[in-house]
Amino acid sequence: MIIVKINGGLGNQLFQYAVARAISIKLNRKLLLDDSWYRDIHSLENQSDPNATTKRDFLLNNFNIQSRVISKAHINFIKRLEIRSKQSTFLKFLLDGPLNNFSFEKIDHANFSLMAVEKSPNVYLTGYWQNNNIIEEYKNLFSGELLLKHPISTHNETYLKSIISTNSVAIHFRRGDYISKPNTRKVHAACSDDYYYKSIEYIQKKNSNLHYFIFSDDISWVRNNFTFSTNITFVDNEKPVYEHLFLMSQCKHQITANSTFSWWAAWLNPNKDKIIITPKYWYYDKQLNNTVIRIPKEWIIIDNMI
């Protein structure tokens, strides 16, 4: 059995699910999802702290995923495992009740190897899993499993029709906690104005009659700070965010931010002739960039540092 801890925003959730799902298929193991982080984060009272963890919602249940969320008994076990993990990096212990004689090894993304998972019949995966090539082997599978379960809203259907009927380019501006939270702002490299203008220039040299669709968690800021084309649509910053990811993925081309959200929209883009432009630096620590995020070799990388 494989249990994977799901936490963070939608882009992180998709990485965690996809890597765990790929491992479960490769090893013929059952996969369960631990979504307890979302209940825990919503119970916190310190949201007035500017560096408090951003509250998120569990959103994978809006996709055609093939795994179920674990039971409360499993969750209690995981919490005990987390407490014990502070004392030991390798954990195997027995549980009472419904999980009697049930042992786990905890493996995070930093020390992952397929061999380590193979050696243990039950593993608990934790981390972000953004630099793992295993999902590439199952891209066709995820093209189906990561489709939305239900039709998109009437409001977003209007955007979709325009996206399909034009030579559409999705441009993603990630702000949110990258701007509002001081500790987060110190870590994540900003995408400069120059990055977006150079990206647009690159795509314009390769295509004509382009129509730009702007996506952002701060759409009013983008509207007030960027004017680069008459063929432009600012997509209203309304939930659900998973519908926005779908809309972005349906654009012919993408200019991504240093964000797993737009990374997934680009990766799921079915257009065979797509142009994907992505930032060179996702973090101010340039060494961290080489170990944290995996950029497909066919994507165009442009410097984004201010």
Asked whether residue 118 falls in the same domain as residue 157, the answer is: no
Asked whether residue 136 falls in the same domain as residue 157, the answer is: no
Tally of domains within the chain? 2
* Buried-state track 105-116, b at ≥16 Cβ within 10 A, e below 16: bbbebeebeeee
The Cβ of residue 227 has, within 10 Å, a number of other Cβ atoms equal to 8
Predicted model pTM: 0.86
3-class DSSP assignment, residue 303: coil
Asked whether residue 42 falls in the same domain as residue 65, the answer is: yes
Structural domain range at position 215: 153-302
CA-CA distance, 145 to 22, in Å (whole number)? 12
Going from the C-alpha of 270 to that of each of 44, 133, 275, the distances in angstroms are: 40, 19, 11
**CATH code, domain carrying 197:** 3.40.50.2000
Q: Closest Cα to residue 141, out of 65, 246, 58?
A: 65
In a domain, residue 32? The reply is yes
Asked whether residue 14 falls in the same domain as residue 64, the answer is: yes
In a domain, residue 36? The reply is yes
What local confidence, expressed as pLDDT, does residue 89 receive? Answer: 43
CA-CA distance, 191 to 258, in Å (whole number)? 7
What local confidence, expressed as pLDDT, does residue 229 receive? Answer: 77
CA-CA distance, 208 to 210, in Å (whole number)? 5
What local confidence, expressed as pLDDT, does residue 103 receive? Answer: 60
Asked whether residue 162 falls in the same domain as residue 73, the answer is: no
The tens-digit pLDDT sequence of the chain (306 residues) is 899 999 999 999 999 999 999 999 999 999 999 998 888 776 665 555 554 567 789 999 999 998 888 866 667 766 666 545 444 444 444 334 444 445 677 777 777 888 888 888 889 999 888 877 899 999 999 999 999 999 999 999 999 999 999 999 999 998 765 555 556 556 666 788 899 999 999 999 999 999 999 999 889 989 998 877 789 999 998 779 999 999 999 999 999 998 999 999 999 999 999 999 999 988 777 777 766 778 999 999 998 876
Token pair for 75:
């969750």
Q: Using an 8 Å Cβ cutoff, are 255 and 170 in contact?
A: yes
In a domain, residue 293? The reply is yes
Sequential DSSP letters for 95-133: B-GGGBT---EEEEGGG--HHHHHH-SSEEEES--TT-G
- What residue has token string 């201010």? 306
Asked whether residue 130 falls in the same domain as residue 251, the answer is: no
Asked whether residue 173 falls in the same domain as residue 122, the answer is: no
In a domain, residue 145? The reply is no
Q: Closest Cα to residue 293, out of 302, 284, 304, 283?
A: 283
Q: Which residues contact 212 (CB under 8 A, 6 or more apart)?
A: 168, 169, 171, 200, 228, 229, 231, 232, 233
In a domain, residue 146? The reply is no
Asked whether residue 158 falls in the same domain as residue 117, the answer is: no
DSSP code of 86?
T
Q: Closest Cα to residue 302, out of 167, 192, 172?
A: 192
> Looking at 140, 168, 201, which one is the last position of a domain?
140
